[in-house]
Amino acid sequence: MALITFLGGDETGNVAHCDWGRFKFTIGQPTECSDAHIVAKASANRFFRVEGTPPPAREDPLAKARAAKAAKRASEAEGGDAA
């Protein structure tokens, strides 16, 4: 689980908190967050500091599709066409 701290600043309009999804981040107070998407986005956002578990690596959808296509071709080459 990651701890996310909203840092705020002039460019955020000097707000006291930020609502993001089902989480409410108050300036300067670490908030536990288990949502991998929010952790990844906050890690790349200069108005947030993320501590703890790093966000999981995102799987490349193209690589996944290519692997599935290659496996299908290999399967067809081994057993021939079932149709």
pLDDT computed for residue 56 by the predictor: 60
Q: What are phi and psi of 10, to 5 degrees?
A: -60, -40
Fold (CATH) for 1-77: Ribosomal Protein L9; domain 1 (3.40.5)
pTM of the model: 0.61
In this structure, the number of other CB atoms found within 10 A of the CB of residue 33 comes to 23
| pLDDT tens per residue, range 26-73 | 999 999 998 888 998 999 999 999 998 765 666 777 888 889 999 999
Sketch the domain layout of the chain as residue ranges: 1-77
Q: What are phi and psi of 65, to 5 degrees?
A: -65, -40
Residue type, 51: E
pLDDT computed for residue 23 by the predictor: 93
